[in-house]
Structure 1
Amino acid sequence: MGEFVSSLTEEQRVALLQEIHQAQATEVKRKAEEKLASWRWRSRFGRPASVHSLGADPTGTYCAIPQDWLQKKVEEKTKARPPNATELRQLAVFNALPFIGFGFLDNFIMILAVSTLGSLVHGA
């Protein structure tokens, strides 16, 4: 075995070591899944399923929801539909009202300021 390893180049040793680590990680993951049995206790919706053959109570056991299932559900709920004409009109009115109110207030202040300045200048 030592001859085989010493005959490899540095790149080949690194690649071999990475593959060994990957295989070990996969084995550890498989053993953990078997131990928790979460991969067997999930229904197709990602929820805990009843396990009568094992005689275990899945309600008190950790059962991870797969990440891809969560992402699919979020994408389904967040699909945006285009707004209809009524919603667009409401949006236009709600966005226009503050500008109209500011315009009236601004004009009112300007008229008061000019009339006050005019009376001060003509009164002096």
Structure 2
Amino acid sequence: MTRDEVLAGINQEIAEQRDAAEHEADPARRDRMLRHARSRADLAEEEADAVAADIVENEQAALSLRVPVSLSMALKARAEAERIPLSALVRRMLTQALEQPSSPVLTVEQVEEIARRVYRESA
């Protein structure tokens, strides 16, 4: 569901609230219902953004893996230090690792230089 679809749904709910308020016989309750609808309308954009973000956040798949105990402890300590859940830390780290362009550990030139040095030293 897109943000615009969420916003359309919120606006529909606000229209229904206003319609219900117009049909309310009790003036005090009608005023309260209209104030609530106006308040919600004022925040509709923000509410749509938050709901859309929640929808995206919840579109996830579970991933289970085994890591060395030392790595697990280090990740837990870092998550605690950053005051975020372990899963959020791991998700962020994986995302950053995939977004960064990968480069070889050694370039072709470096491998060739090592090979020449080894050849010279062994002669």
TM range (shorter): under 0.3
Kindly indicate whether structure 1 or structure 2 has the higher relative contact order, using CA contacts under 8 Å at least 6 residues apart. 2
Who wins on radius of gyration, i.e. which is larger? 1
TM normalised by structure 1 equals 0.27
